[in-house]
Amino acid sequence: MPSLFTKFFAATALCALSALSEDPMMLDDACLLGDDACGLELLQRRAGVARTAGVAEDAPDTSPGVSGCVEGVLSGDWLNQDALGFITVNVRLHVYPPGPDSDYCDSINADLIMPSYLGAPVRYNATFLDPVANSTYKVKYYTPLATPPYYHEGTFDLATETLTEDLGMLNGETPLPPIAGASTSILTLKRVSR
């Protein structure tokens, strides 16, 4: 049976969520930490407000996130078996959780880990961009340590718990040459743990 505090907090959260229709950009703590559906709902509403306010569609949402960082929904380990069509080549993505005291977040750190013979892990800053469909969001994988820094884009589908990354496009506009022997340029990662 829920305590009086829990009931009060739930009622307060419902009131805060109903206020989203008035100004979703002003709410920083409308959702509980770990409430992925609530966080993504707030992200969708903020993206809609940003679009109607004339913000470019490819601009990342840099407003303060739900419980510090809406990208936190990506935290955990992801796996693409037989990556890019190569049998037995497994690529992992480890997405670090946001810090417990994060008041502001416009990206979250992640490491792309491939077999050692393909190279060292790659450090990313992953950022949500605008929603693409009902439960699908664009994701930007920025590589700040590269010279020069670059990014790839992909998607996150909440319904299927799937992340993609298009290694065939650089900085959202430059097509890259096909990877020799690969059947695709898209990594398709499924969540294996939170």
pLDDT at 72: 82
Q: What is the pTM of this model?
A: 0.64
Q: C-alpha distances in angstroms, 74 versus 12, 54, 130, 189?
A: 26, 27, 15, 11
pLDDT at 170: 95
- The answer to whether 123 and 144 have CB atoms below 8 angstroms apart is yes
Give the C-alpha separation, 86 to 183, whole Å: 8
As averages over each run of 10 residues, the pLDDT of the chain (194 residues) reads 34 34 42 55 46 36 46 91 94 87 71 92 88 87 94 94 95 91 95 93
pLDDT at 134: 82
pLDDT at 34: 54
Q: Using H for helix, E for strand and C for coil, what is the string for the chain?
A: CCCHHHHHHHHHHHHHHHHHHCCHHHCCCCCCCCCHHHHHHHHHHHHHHHHHCCCCCCCCCCCCECCECHHHHHCEEEEECCHHHCCCCCEEEEECCCCCCCCCCCCEEEEEECCHHHCCCEEEEEEEEEEEECCEEEEEEEECCCCCCEEEEEEEECCCCEEEEECCEECCCEECCCCCCCCCCEEEEEEEEC
pLDDT at 5: 30
